[in-house]
Structures are given as C-alpha cells and as structure tokens.
Amino acid sequence: MSNRDTSEFEISSLLEAVYQKYGYDFRQYSQAHIRRRITNRMAMSGLEDISQMQSKILNDKIFAANFLQDLSITVTEMFRDPGFYRSLRENVIPILKTYPFIKIWHAGCSTGEEAYSMAIIMQEEGLYDRTTIYATDFNQQALNRAKEGIFSNPMIKEYTANYQLSGGIESFSNYYTSNYNNVIMNQSLKKNIVWANHNLVTDSVFAEVHMVLCRNVLIYFDNNLQNKVQQIFYNSLINSGVLCLGSKESLRFTDLYEKYTELDKNQRIFKKKY
C-alpha cells in the first residue's frame, strides 16, 4: 500500500470517528481543506501521525473541541464583495419590498458580520421593521460572538471601506458605538436577528423564507453534499424567492440549475422559478 492510500484511509477513519462520537459530519468536506487543517493541528500539538490524533480526539474533549473549531471557518467580513451588496440593493430589494413581511435566512453566518450587513441594508431601505433575519451556524462559539456583536476597530476600518464601495450613503459609524479597541453594533440592528444553531450537513429545512444567503460555505463541500444542501435551500424558499451564493459558487454542478433564473449572473444571485 502506498503512503498516499494510508493517509487517505487515516483521514476518513478520523472523520468517521468524529461523526460517531460527536455527531459533526465532515465526511463530505473538501479533502484538501480537511488535510490542511489536520496537518496544522498535528504540527501545533506535536502529534506524529493521524492515528495518534484520532485517539486524542476520541479521548480528550478539549482537544476535540479545538479540532472542531479548526474545521469551522470563521473568516468573514461586513459587506464582503461590495459589488454583491450593490446588486442586492438594485436587484433584490425591489422584490422584497413587495412583501408585507420579509424572512431572510443567513445559512452559515459564523460570527455574524454578513447578518449585520443585511440588517443595515434593510434599515436603510426602510424595511427592517417588517424583516426577520434568521442567522444560523453549527459553531456555537461563533454564534455567541455574533450575538454580542463586538468587532475590533481595525476590522471596522475595512468594513467601512466595503460599506462605502457597496453604495452605502450613511456614515458607517452611525451603526456602532466605539469603545477603545472595539466597537459594539447598535441594538436597533440586533433586534430582528434570530441567532440559531443549525447544521447544514445534518439538519433539514429551517423555515420558509423569502431569501437565502449562503456565501462561501458550499465551497468547502463535495458535489454530493452541495446538492443535498442546495435541495434544503430550494425547499426553504417561497416561489420566486431569492438565493444568494458566494462570488465563486454556482448552481452549475447541482440538480437545481434549471429551477432558478439568474437575477445577477456575476454576483451569483438567483430567483426560484414558479
């Protein structure tokens, strides 16, 4: 057996063990990504091989919790891809405006930056009072931080630039209170965001919504899992509901490609057909 076969087998065995013991299912994640995370954690912890790591994960709860954090991506920004948010204002808001109430699902919201961005847009468009944003993630630690809505000052500088590029016309500092190195987002933005623990891999439809945003989450999944999760989004959306993906994600390799029309091809915004 070549080396290659051994390490591949060890990785799938480790992921199987994580699933059986803790219920988190990474078995259909991108292999290259998982391998990188495992290698990094092994190096940090001075472990010699993957089997050693597997036994540590099974027997050491703190180590296992850290490893689960490794596998959860918490890199995000407010108004990441300003062009996307510009398109949202131009092409999607006019559709949402026609509904008496608006439900939005942010799937894989991590530490909440994109959910706050959405709340800001809805407030500026005068729609926030009739909007509910469901922001979900499987990472409870990230959700807790999202709920707090505290972000570091240097990051806020970047977000301000993003906000302005996205067509924002207010002063971004109206949306938070600054305190030394951190800012805290306004209560008026938090009031209609519902933070909830939901795992796209193991849980099912979350609610019936007018719009789903799931950006840069599906890139971590293999084709089968992408298909399964896209089916969940499709079943969650009302007819003519809107699906927003990350700027490098597509429906092309899924079974649902024919079931949407493109609202903005470049920004990966789709509308569910009747």
Nearest to 247 by CA among 108, 87, 97, 56: 87
Options 45, 52, 227, 250; binder of other proteins; rule CB under 8 A: 250
Nearest approach in angstroms of CB 7 to other proteins is: 8
- Which of positions 79-108 make contact with other proteins (CB under 8 A)? 82
Options 31, 152, 153, 177; binder of other proteins; rule CB under 8 A: 31
Distance separating alpha carbons of residues 49 and 56, to the nearest angstrom:
11
Options 95, 127, 155, 219; binder of other proteins; rule CB under 8 A: 219
Options 20, 171, 197, 223; binder of other proteins; rule CB under 8 A: 223
Distance separating alpha carbons of residues 231 and 256, to the nearest angstrom:
7
Q: Does 62 bind other proteins (CB under 8 A)?
A: no
Q: Does 21 bind other proteins (CB under 8 A)?
A: no
Stretch that binds other proteins, among 35-43, 121-129, 142-150, 228-236 (CB under 8 A): 35-43
Options 10, 16, 124, 249; binder of other proteins; rule CB under 8 A: 249
Q: Does 35 bind other proteins (CB under 8 A)?
A: yes
Q: Does 8 bind other proteins (CB under 8 A)?
A: yes
Q: Does 30 bind other proteins (CB under 8 A)?
A: yes
- Which of positions 124-143 make contact with other proteins (CB under 8 A)? none
Nearest approach in angstroms of CB 31 to other proteins is: 6
Q: Does 248 bind other proteins (CB under 8 A)?
A: yes
Options 172, 220, 233, 260; binder of other proteins; rule CB under 8 A: 220
Burial of 83 (0-12, 13-18, 19+ CB in 10 A): middle
Binding footprint of other proteins on the chain (CB under 8 A):
4, 8, 30-33, 35-36, 39, 73, 75-76, 82, 165, 216, 219-220, 223, 246, 248-250, 253
